[in-house]
Amino acid sequence: MLALRIPDTRDFMKKLLTETVFDSFVVSEASVTTFTVIRIDGSWHPEYFGDGEMVTENEENENGERLHPSALSWGLLRPVFFGLIRGRRTPGAFRLVFRLAGYNVASLLSGSGLNFRPEEVAGLFLNISFSNGEVSCTTGTSMNTFTLDQTLNHLWDEMVQKFLRQQKIPFTVL
């Protein structure tokens, strides 16, 4: 597990809420505190959408990335979440739990040389918290099988730092 502090809150919020930087992550859960606490459990109900409204499993976005409508992506939830916090007042707090999409877990494992199968990985998580005007991020991993091997944890920590650097998001390790 890795804990990071994001010093430039304004730029980070812009990238999180109005740009596509985090759109490929799956939302496991979210909460925001405004005049009340609003919780989103991350469950996905594709039947809500009518025929032709939702992308198919093989469609790609403008960056050529595969879209996976079998899970609640941040790209789908982002405008709704932004609508919840938009206004004259800054939210008191929010928390987002992102999970790396399954196809990205498989890609990460195949490129790393690790001896884990994708089905052994329950999730690679990025937790984003906003409170008292500050943003922090923590990483986490969850396995479906018991292992003492911490290599995947370290690899995920490195990948998150690399991702933030690529997106020009400054951070300090806590």
Would you state the pLDDT for residue 56? 43
Would you state the pLDDT for residue 80? 93
SS (H, E, C) the chain: CCEEEECCHHHHHHHHHHCCCCCCCEEEEEEEECCCEEEECCCCCHHHCCCCCCCCCCCECCCCCECCCCCCEHHHHHHHHHHHHCCCCCCCEEEEEEECCHHHHHHHHHHHCCCCCHHHEEEEEEEEEEECCEEEEEEEEEECCCCCCCHHHHHHHHHHHHHHHHCCCCCEEC
Q: Which domain holds residue 55?
A: 3-173
- Angle at which helix 151-166 crosses helix 102-112, to 10 degrees, equals 110
Is the pLDDT assigned to residue 167 strictly greater than 60?
yes
The two tokens of residue 163 are: 């991702």
* Cα 123 from Cα 116, distance rounded (Å): 13
Would you state the pLDDT for residue 88? 86
What number is the average pLDDT over the span 20-30?
96
Q: What is the pLDDT of residues 36-87, one digit of tens each?
A: 999 999 888 877 776 655 554 444 555 555 454 568 899 999 999 999 988 8
Q: What is the pLDDT of residues 116-159, one digit of tens each?
A: 999 999 999 999 999 999 999 999 999 998 989 899 999 999 99
Is the pLDDT assigned to residue 8 strictly greater than 70?
yes
* Cα 153 from Cα 2, distance rounded (Å): 9
Would you state the pLDDT for residue 93? 95
pTM as predicted = 0.86
Domain count, the chain: 1
Q: Identify which of 34, 9, 2, 3 has the alpha carbon closest to the alpha carbon of residue 134.
A: 9
Would you state the pLDDT for residue 53? 59
